[in-house]
Amino acid sequence: MSITYWNGKMCQAKVSKVIIVKGNDAAVMVSKGLSELNVRLHKEKVVIKPNLIVNRPYPTTTSAETVEAIARYCMRLGKDVVIAEGSGWANTYEAFRDQGYLEVAEKCGVKLVDLNEDQYEIRRDPQAMVLKEFEFPLTLMNSYLISAAVLKVHSTTTMTLSLKNMLGATIRRDKGRFHNYGINESIVDINRYKTPDLAIIDGRMGNVAGELGGRTKRFDLMVFSEDPVAADAVGASILGLNPLSVTHLRLAQDKALGIADLKKIDIVEVR
């Protein structure tokens, strides 16, 4: 625990907690991670936001097996679960179908939503860096939001984990517009409009040569945190990156979305 001083008085600096669960069984790992983190689902509606940027299998996209495990955990606590995504490089419902999400929805009795086609309301934030106005998907309103990401590097943003996953939590398929506005600033602004309540990064396998496919590597772990910035900082370190060298992580910390400094993160490993 780090110590800071305020008006001459000693106090404890804020520390975020991140759980790393080692293994390869998604259901077991999800249960261990959420139990160890002592997660409290404080809303009746839980929205799970996977990464289905393209219609390709895990680890380019989030495994339906992992999303099913998250959904079942939440449903055991009596929550209404929605799986929502807005793909940028595929028809979202085709990705739901081909990557096993329709089967999960049928087995678990949960709803699938294409956020590209969702109804929305305009929200404004004069403090936003580039997105002063934002089309906020109504499916995300009054929800406990889980960003269910995969462990991947990225050609433009260095890596794509919990925070960048939120680019798919937007209206319309044209996600390229955020690159035009400023991709790192857009990532932070979107997460300011709706910050994930929980970040889960499925790193049993990871993409280490590109965000849309390429060379994969086994890591045999999952990352869990109620601070998505801290989760991504730990994910960055697993990928061999300095979290503070990742622009959108540094900006997110500057905007008080969470902690990117590994020295201020309590990391607990569970086997």
- Per-residue pLDDT of 242-258, as tens digits, reads 999 999 999 999 999 99
Assess whether pLDDT exceeds 80 at residue 113. Answer: yes
Could you say which DSSP state residue 13 is in? Answer: P
CB atoms within 10 A of CB 74: 23
Predicted confidence (pLDDT) per residue in 179-229, tens digit: 999 999 999 999 999 999 999 999 999 999 888 888 999 999 999 999 999
Section 112-126 average pLDDT: 98
**Which residues on neighbouring strands pair with residue 83, listed in sequence order?**
48, 112
Between CA 56 and CA 61 the distance in angstroms is 6
What local confidence, expressed as pLDDT, does residue 13 receive? 54
What local confidence, expressed as pLDDT, does residue 213 receive? 81
The closest of 210, 202, 190 to 255, measured between CA atoms, is 190
Between CA 238 and CA 151 the distance in angstroms is 9
Class of domain 16-270: alpha beta
Between CA 51 and CA 55 the distance in angstroms is 10
Asked whether 122 and 135 are in contact (CB, 8 A), the reply is yes
The closest of 81, 69, 250, 219 to 150, measured between CA atoms, is 219
Handedness of CA 224, 228, 230, 234 (dihedral sign): positive
* End-to-end Cα spacing for the chain: 23
Chain position carrying tokens 């959420």: 34
Between CA 85 and CA 110 the distance in angstroms is 14
Per-residue pLDDT band at 14 (split at 50, 70, 90): low
Section 164-171 average pLDDT: 97
Percent of residues, the chain, with pLDDT higher than 70: 95
Between CA 105 and CA 117 the distance in angstroms is 19
What local confidence, expressed as pLDDT, does residue 210 receive? 81
In total, the chain counts a number of residues equal to 271
What local confidence, expressed as pLDDT, does residue 73 receive? 98
**Residue 42 burial (CB < 10 Å; 0-12/13-18/19+)?**
exposed
Helix axes 228-238, 247-254, angle to 10 degrees: 150
